[in-house]
């Protein structure tokens, strides 16, 4: 391992909060700490970067004890971006970034042309070159975060340690930041150690995951092997709602537990947006027939009162079809999300035709044909469908349906 700890104990005022931490990461790889607030992630990062005095144990860089390195040697090999807000007085962004070059300057701190080139390249890498002359204290939190990352890059470290670097960043800059870290690891063989709150991003970014909970290391390993829906629920103590590792999505707790009065035809990803729109309105629904490998199945299992599904890559069986018929006929309104109707043996198509023939009110997101049936209402988008069909909750239990005129 290029960077590793041996029986490290960390804490405050001489009292160990987390003991016997043995973690390691190879050169050019990314290690990510995951865990709830207050679990000790920041304490570990501060301790291995020497911002906090460790209680016991050893930290190695390339098998060399960090205790044997002076501050300048450490600064040349390791850069740090922590969560604490820094407030340098009257310094421009360029000057803040330039402090990353000081381990390489002479006693007078004079910057060379090469230093200035590295400063500009570092700022350009995180899209803050246009802020070069701005006063750092006047920036937004997200801009400050990117400037501090530029400073860390400017050090040209062998190891970069970041504590929740995506905090305050919008989605564009979050993606750019993590992309930069991945490129640094792959192209420049920089070892990256960081903490994140975004479980889905951690799974996509990290080579190794360390799970921290209740002031202890809860688990570690390759994210594909370590992370699962069950592990995430235990790690964060999720009792309501769900996190889906496969989709990388969070679904809020079900808002209605009454018997469903709405049947949603989903499939091919058409159903998910409808599921969430109904869920937000507190409307209980059932859906089907989905296949186990369909993207809609993942969300339906979290939000629907009942999900009728068939195993992947096989025709819908008579048993499943009859189950769907029963559920649909018990509902007061049908939502057709525009799923695939191709094939005369398509049993979902047959199911929808049954709804036509039994005069169930059908709200459809398909393109309206020239000839329509009286019980079908067509809509161009989900928003207008949800508001126009007037699904009203009465006493928190019963749903009454009135078609638009």
pLDDT tens digits, one per residue of 93-135 = 999 999 999 888 876 678 999 999 999 999 998 889 999 999 9
Radius of gyration of the chain (CA): 28
Same domain, 230 and 286: no
pLDDT of residue 399: 45
pLDDT of residue 401: 45
Residue 392 has pLDDT above 50, yes or no: no
Average confidence (pLDDT) over 214-226: 90
Mean pLDDT of the chain: 89
pLDDT of residue 388: 63
Average confidence (pLDDT) over 204-217: 93
Within-domain flag for 402? no
Task: Look at 57-71, 285-299, 334-348 and tell me which has the smallest mean pLDDT.
Answer: 334-348
Within-domain flag for 245? no
Average confidence (pLDDT) over 311-335: 94
Provide the domain count of the chain. 2
Within-domain flag for 404? no
- pLDDT tens-digit readout, 159-195: 999 999 998 888 988 998 899 999 999 999 999 999 9
Question: What residues contact residue 268 under an 8 Å CB cut-off, 6+ apart?
Answer: 294, 295, 296, 339, 340
Task: Look at 30-39, 197-206, 379-388 and tell me which has the smallest mean pLDDT.
Answer: 379-388
Same domain, 256 and 382: yes
Contact 50, 223 (CB under 8 A): no
Average confidence (pLDDT) over 200-229: 92
Same domain, 12 and 155: yes
Position 370 confidence tier, pLDDT thresholds 50, 70, 90:
confident
Position 257 confidence tier, pLDDT thresholds 50, 70, 90:
confident
Average confidence (pLDDT) over 212-240: 90
- pLDDT tens-digit readout, 326-369: 999 999 899 999 998 887 778 999 999 999 999 888 999 999 88
Domain boundary among 188, 216, 238: 238
Other CB atoms within 10 A of residue 59 CB: 20
pLDDT of residue 249: 81
Question: What residues contact residue 122 under an 8 Å CB cut-off, 6+ apart?
Answer: 97, 100, 150, 151, 153, 154
Residue 402 has pLDDT above 50, yes or no: no
Same domain, 231 and 258: no
Same domain, 203 and 268: no
Average confidence (pLDDT) over 231-235: 92
Within-domain flag for 397? no
Average confidence (pLDDT) over 247-257: 79
Average confidence (pLDDT) over 65-79: 91
Share of the chain above pLDDT 70, in %: 94
Question: Which residue segment(s) compose the domain that 351 sits in?
Answer: 252-391
pLDDT of residue 178: 92
Same domain, 215 and 130: yes
Q: Give the domain CATH number at 75.
A: 3.40.50.300
Position 398 confidence tier, pLDDT thresholds 50, 70, 90:
very low
Q: Give the domain CATH number at 312.
A: 3.40.50.1220
* Higher-pLDDT residue of 215, 210: 210
Same domain, 207 and 301: no
């Amino acid at each position: 391992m290029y960077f590793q700890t041996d029986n490290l104990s960390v804490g405050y005022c001489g009292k160990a909060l987390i003991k016997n931490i043995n973690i390691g990461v190879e050169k050019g790889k990314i290690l990510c700490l995951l865990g709830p607030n207050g679990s000790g992630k920041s304490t570990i990062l501060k301790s291995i970067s020497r911002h906090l005095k460790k209680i016991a144990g050893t930290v190695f860089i390339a098998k060399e004890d960090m205790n044997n390195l002076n501050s300048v040697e450490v600064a040349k090999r390791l850069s740090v971006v922590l969560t604490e807000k820094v407030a340098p007085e009257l310094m421009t962004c360029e000057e803040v970034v330039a402090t990353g070059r000081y381990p390489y300057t002479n006693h007078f701190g004079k910057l060379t042309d090469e230093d200035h080139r590295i400063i500009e390249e570092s700022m350009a890498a995180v899209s803050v070159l246009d802020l070069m002359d701005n006063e750092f204290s006047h920036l937004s939190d997200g801009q400050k975060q990117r400037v501090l990352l530029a400073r860390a890059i400017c050090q040209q470290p062998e190891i970069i340690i970041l504590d929740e670097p995506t905090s305050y960043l919008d989605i564009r800059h979050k993606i750019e930041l993590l992309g930069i870290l991945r490129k640094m690891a792959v192209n420049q063989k920089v070892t990256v150690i960081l903490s994140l709150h975004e479980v889905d991003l951690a799974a996509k970014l990290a080579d190794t995951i360390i799970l921290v909970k209740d002031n202890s290391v809860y688990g570690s390993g390759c994210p594909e092997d370590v992370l699962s829906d069950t592990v995430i629920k235990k790690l964060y103590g999720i009792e309501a709602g769900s996190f889906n590792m496969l989709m990388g999505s969070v679904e809020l707790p079900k808002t209605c537990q009454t018997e469903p009065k709405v049947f949603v035809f989903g499939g091919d990803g058409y159903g998910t947006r409808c599921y969430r729109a109904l869920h937000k309105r507190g409307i209980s629904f059932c859906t089907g027939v989905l296949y186990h490998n369909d993207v809609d199945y993942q969300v339906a299992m979290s939000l629907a009162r009942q999900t009728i599904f068939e195993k992947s890559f096989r025709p819908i069986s008579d048993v499943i079809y009859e189950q769907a018929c029963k559920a649909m006929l018990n509902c007061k309104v049908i939502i057709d999300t525009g799923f695939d109707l191709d094939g005369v043996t398509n049993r979902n198509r047959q199911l929808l035709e049954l709804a036509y023939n039994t005069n169930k009110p059908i709200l459809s997101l398909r393109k309206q044909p020239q000839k329509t049936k009286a019980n079908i209402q067509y809509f161009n988008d989900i928003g207008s469908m949800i508001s126009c069909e007037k699904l009203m909750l009465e006493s928190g239990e019963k749903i009454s349906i009135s078609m638009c005129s």
